[in-house]
Amino acid sequence: MSVKDCFDLTIAGADPTAAAGYNDYVAEFLSYGANLRALFEIADAYPDAALLNAHAAALHMAFEGAEGWDFASPYLGRMRATQAGATERERLFCAAVDRWADKDFAGAFAHLDELTVRWPADLCAIKWGQYHAFNRGDQAALLRLGRRASVAHEDTPYAHGMIAFALEQNHRLQEAEEEGLRAVEISIDDAWAHHAVAHVMETEGRAKEGARWLDHCAHTWEKKGVFIRDHNWWHAALFRLALGRNDEALKIFDDRLWGAWPEFPQEQIGAVSMLWRLEMRGTDVGERWAPVVDQARARAGEHLFAFHDLHYLYALARAGKTGEAQKFLTSMSEQPGVIWQGVAAPTGEALIAFAENRRGEAAASLGPLLRDLYKIGGSHAQRHVFMETYEACCDQSATSTRTH
C-alpha cells in the first residue's frame, strides 16, 4: 500500500492515517513545533513504512547525544528491513540515515544532496540536508539547498526562513533579511526566520533593533520546541550583552536558557556559551556553572561534533577539572580526520590555557586557528566566542606589557 504526503510524494507501506501522521510531523518539523515526538507513535504503528521509521531514527539522532543513537536503533532496524519496498526517493533518504547512524555525516549529506536535486518538493529532506551542511561548516551547501526550496515552495510557510538563514551564513545580509521578513509575512510564527533576521542584525551591529525584534517575536516561541525557544532567547541575551545590559542577559539565562531540558546537548552548549561570554565581560555568575559542568562531564568520550566538544571541554577546564579536561582533550586528538586533529584538538589546548589564565599561550595557539574554525560547524554568532576569547587574551597581554 502507498499514499501521497502533503508534498504529493509517495509514502510506501502507509495508509491515509499514516500519511496524516507524517504530514503532522512535517508541519511540526518545519515550524520547530513542540509535538515532534508524535512521529514515534506513528512509526511504531507502521513498521513497514521505511520512510516513517527513517525520519523517526533521524529525529532521535538529531538529539545530538549518544542516547539519541540508542533510541534510534529500533527504527533503524525497521528502516533497513523494509527499504527494499520503498520508492527510490525514500531509499535515498534511508541511505542518508544509514550513513548518519554510522556517524558518516559527509555520506549522509551526499545522499540528501542527490535526493533534493531530484525531488526538490521534499522540503523535509532539504531541511535535513541543511542540518548536515550546517554541522559540517559548509555554508555554500547550506545555500544551495536553500535555493532548491524556492523551486517548489515559493509560497510554502517556513521555506523562506530556511533560505534566509542560508543567505545570512553566506554573508548576503540584505537578501537574508528580505527573505526572513517574507517568511514572517507568510507565517508569523516562523521562529527560524525570526532567528535568521536576528543573525543579520547581530552581524550588522544593530543590537537595539535586534533586541526589539526578538522581543516582538518572543510570544510565538512558547508553543515551540525546546531547541528554537532556547536558541532564540540565547540570541536575545546576546543583544543585551552587546548593549552592556549584562544583568538582563543573566536574567534571560536564569529564566530561559537553563533548566527546561538540562540533558539536551543544545541546551548545554548554549548555557556554556552564555556563561563564558558573561564572565569575559566581568559578570559574576555565581554557582551557575556547577549543573552545566555536571552535564558536560556526561558527554566526555562521545565526540559527535567538534563544536559541541569544545564547549564541553571549556566547561570542564573552567571548573578546574584539569585531569578530566586533559583526558577529554587527549580523546579528541585521537579522533580521525583533519578537523579533529588539525582544528578541534589544538583549539581545545588553547581553551584549557585560557581557563587556566595562561593567556599569552592561549592567544599564540588560538590566533592561527581562527580562520579555520568554520570547519567545526556552528554559526558565525556561535563561533564568535572563540574570537572574543582570543581578544580577551590579547587585551590582557597588552595590559600586562604596559604594566611592566
**346 located within any domain:** yes
Query: Is position 260 within any domain?
Result: no
DSSP 167-234: HHHTT-HHHHHHHHHHHHHH-TT-HHHHHHHHHHHHHTT-HHHHHHHHHHHGGGGGGB-HHHHHHHHH
Report if residue 338 sits inside a domain. yes
Choose the final residue of a domain: 139, 167, 196: 139
Q: Is residue 288 part of a domain?
A: no
At which residue does the C-alpha cell 531541511 appear? 127
Q: Are 124 and 55 in contact (CB under 8 A)?
A: yes
Among the residue ranges 142-151, 375-384, 394-403, the one predicted with the least confidence is: 394-403
pLDDT in tens, 125-183: 999 999 999 999 999 999 999 999 998 999 898 999 999 999 999 999 999 999 999 99
Residue owning grid cell 558573561? 278
- Its domain, for residue 75, covers 1-139
Is residue 203 in a domain? no
Q: How far apart are CA 69 and CA 102, in angstroms?
A: 10
DSSP letter at 12? E
Give the pLDDT confidence score for residue 401 in this predicted structure.
42
Entry field: residues in the chain: 404
Percent helix / strand / coil, the chain, rounded to 5? 75, 0, 20
What is this structure's pTM?
Answer: 0.97
Beta bridge partners of 4: 10
As a whole number, the mean pLDDT across the chain is 96
Give the largest CA-CA distance in the chain: 80
pLDDT in tens, 273-332: 999 999 999 999 999 999 999 999 999 989 999 999 999 999 999 999 999 999 999 999
pLDDT digits (tens, 9 = 90+) for 202-246: 999 999 999 999 999 999 999 999 999 999 999 999 999 999 999
Mean pLDDT value of segment 55-59: 98
Judge whether residue 343 has pLDDT over 80: yes
Q: What is residue 398's predicted lDDT score, i.e. its pLDDT?
A: 52
- Checking if the pLDDT of 404 tops 80, the result is no
DSSP state of 258: S
pLDDT category at 89 given cuts 50, 70, 90 is: very high
Q: Which three cell numbers stand for residue 270?
A: 548554549
- What is the percent of the chain with per-residue pLDDT over 90, rounded to a whole number? 95
Query: What is the average per-residue pLDDT within 353-377?
Result: 97
Q: How confident is the model at residue 197 (pLDDT cuts 50, 70, 90)?
A: very high
- Closest by CA position to 183, among listed 210, 156, 209, 206: 156
Cα dihedral value 272, 273, 275, 279, nearest 10: 130
Number of domains in the chain: 2
Q: Compute, in degrees rounded to 10, the torsion defined by CA atoms 99, 105, 107, 110.
A: 120
Boundary residue ending a domain (139, 161, 184): 139
Is the pLDDT at 402 greater than 50, yes or no? no
| Helix boundaries (H) for 299-379 | 306-318, 322-333, 338, 345-355, 359-366
Among the candidates 118, 139, 160, a domain finishes at: 139
Residue 355 falls within a domain, yes or no?
yes
pLDDT score for 210: 98
- The answer to whether residue 283 is domain-embedded is no
What pLDDT, on the 0 to 100 scale, is given for residue 395? 83
| Residue 157, pLDDT score | 85
Domain CATH number, residue 90: 1.25.40
Q: Please say if the pLDDT value at position 397 is more than 60.
A: no
pLDDT score for 301? 87
Answer yes or no: is 90 within a domain. Answer: yes
